[in-house]
Amino acid sequence: MAVSRDVLKVRIESDGACVVASLDGSLDEASQHQAESMIMPMLGAERKHLLLEASELSFVSSAGLRVIISAVKALKPHGGSVNVCAPQPTVEQLLRIAGLTALIRIHPSVDAARSALNVG
């Protein structure tokens, strides 16, 4: 029996050193390329902090985790960071179980992430 997942909606905002990607739906094999194609070109030396606003992100698969790991790899040479903001409990638990909290930071909100990064 196939499980129906929500389509991923991605909204990108860039503000100084930060890229805020608001994710709504499922980050999985079906949406991996869409997310990467929208997020990855935004990252670099000028915009070195990715804030994934995840309050509406309902599901993350291993393919979705690869998107996050790709962003970590892209930002590391620039001294940047990947921050997951306001994740739902199941998403936060997955990130912890997968060991990604050694590579990313989790914050209660985008504002908290900006404050922790000291970027506006």
Inter-helix orientation angle 62-75/32-39, to 10°:
20
- DSSP H or E run through 113: helix 110-117
CB neighbours of residue 15 within 10 Å: 14
Domains of the chain: 9-117 (3.30.750.24)
pLDDT of residue 60: 97
Tell me the pLDDT band of 1, cut-offs 50, 70 and 90: very low
Higher pLDDT, 2 or 103: 103
pLDDT of residue 7: 86
Mean pLDDT of 51-74: 97
CB neighbours of residue 34 within 10 Å: 15
pLDDT of residue 119: 83
Q: What is the pLDDT of residues 72-109, one digit of tens each?
A: 999 999 999 999 999 999 999 999 999 999 999 999 99
CB neighbours of residue 85 within 10 Å: 22
